[in-house]
């Protein structure tokens, strides 16, 4: 009995495998893909990093398009981005891609379900620690991003958190004014996500 207890204890106490830089994966890809793309019949997973796709020059280009430097200890060129290519029969119908974004109280996991032409089908915060997380994760807020694409975000200033007057993005209001920093972080995450997808997939296809 003592041995059994010891084994159970050690399974819980001892470590899991050590890894490289942390990416942003769906918690349950089978379930999440079916939820975000109900018509899908399958998906393919690719792990892509800035380092493997173009290194320093690509990082500089992404930063320039984002209008901000990659920050902190973890927004580095070796972060593996997980891209789920969604398939219906033999046809590619879209992508799901997530990025980690620094929020006030923790990492925000910003997932986008994208149509095959790059338009946003759905925004999904897989993880968001904030005093106002409920408002930011509300379906009404997330739905506002439907149909937007990189063009809508290209003139969005991620540092000042400003969208040009009259732009579609300017109509998206912060549902929790007290959580302005998290709102801006979320938008920065969306823009970063779209730029990376453009660099990894759409730009190449054009």
Partner 1 sequence: MKIYLIAYKNLLRKKTRTVLTVLGIALSSWVLASLLGFNKGYEGALNHDIDNMGFQVLLTAKGCPYEAATLMLKGGTGLRYLKESMVQGVAEDHDVAAVTPMLMQAIFDPNKGESGGMSGYLGVDPATFPQSKGFLEFKKGGWFKDPDAREAVMGYEAAELEQRDTGDKLLIPEKNVEITVVGILKRTGTQDDGTIFLPFRTVQEVFGRKGLLTGMGITVRKDADIDKFTERLYDLPDVQVVSMAQVKSTIMSLLSSAKVMVFSIALIAIIIAMVGVINTILMSVFERFQELGILKSMGAMPSDVFKLVWAETMFLCLAGSSLGVLLALGLARTTELLVRRLLPYAPNGGLVQIDWRLAVGTVAAVTGAGLISGLYPAWRAARVRPLDSIRNEAE
Residue in the block written with tokens 């408002």: 135
Does position 126 interact with partner 1 (CB under 8 A)? The reply is: yes
Specify the stretch interacting with partner 1 by CB under 8 A; choose among 12-20, 84-92, 114-122, 161-169.
12-20
- Give me the least distance between CB of 164 and partner 1, in Å please: 28
> What is the rounded CA–CA span in Å between residue 185 and residue 17?
30
Q: Which residue has the tokens 């994760």?
A: 137
Question: Does 15 help bind partner 1 (rule: CB under 8 A)?
Answer: yes
State yes or no: residue 47 binds partner 1 (CB under 8 A): no
The answer to whether 71 touches 102, Cβ cutoff 8 Å, is yes
Binding span for partner 1 by CB under 8 A among 10-18, 38-46, 155-163, 164-172: 10-18
For the bound state, the minimum distance from the C-beta of residue 181 to partner 1, rounded and expressed in Å, comes to 11
Q: How far is the CB of 91 from partner 1 (least distance, A)?
A: 26
Of the residues 40, 107, 150, 193, which one makes contact with partner 1 according to CB under 8 A: 107
CB of 5 to partner 1, least distance (A): 5
Query: How far, rounded to the nearest angstrom, does the alpha carbon of residue 34 sit from its chain's CA centroid?
Result: 18
Encode 39-75: b = buried (16+ Cβ within 10 Å), e = exposed.
ebeebeeeebbbbeebeeebbeebbebbbbebeeeeb
Scanning residues 177 to 206, which ones bind partner 1 (CB under 8 A)? none
Residue ranges in contact with partner 1 by CB under 8 A: 2-3, 5-19, 21-22, 27-28, 31-32, 35, 72-75, 100-108, 125-131, 133-134, 137
């Amino acid at each position: 009995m003592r041995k059994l207890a010891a084994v159970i204890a050690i399974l819980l106490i001892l470590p899991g495998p050590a890894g490289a830089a942390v990416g942003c994966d769906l918690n349950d890809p089978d379930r999440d893909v079916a939820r975000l793309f109900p018509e899908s019949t399958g998906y393919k997973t690719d792990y892509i990093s800035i380092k493997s796709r173009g290194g320093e020059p690509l990082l500089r280009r992404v930063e320039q398009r984002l209008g901000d430097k990659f920050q902190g200890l973890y927004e580095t060129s070796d972060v593996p981005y997980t891209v789920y290519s969604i398939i219906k029969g033999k046809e590619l119908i879209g992508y799901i891609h997530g990025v980690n974004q620094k929020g006030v109280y923790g990492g925000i996991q910003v997932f986008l379900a994208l149509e095959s032409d790059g338009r946003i089908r759905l925004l999904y915060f897989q993880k968001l620690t904030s005093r106002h997380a409920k408002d930011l994760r509300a379906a009404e807020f997330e739905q506002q991003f439907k149909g937007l694409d990189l063009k809508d975000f290209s003139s969005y200033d991620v540092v000042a958190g400003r969208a040009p007057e009259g732009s579609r993005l300017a109509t998206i209001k912060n549902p929790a004014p007290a959580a302005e920093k998290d709102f801006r972080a979320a938008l920065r995450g969306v823009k970063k996500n779209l730029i990376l997808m453009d660099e990894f997939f759409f730009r190449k296809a054009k």
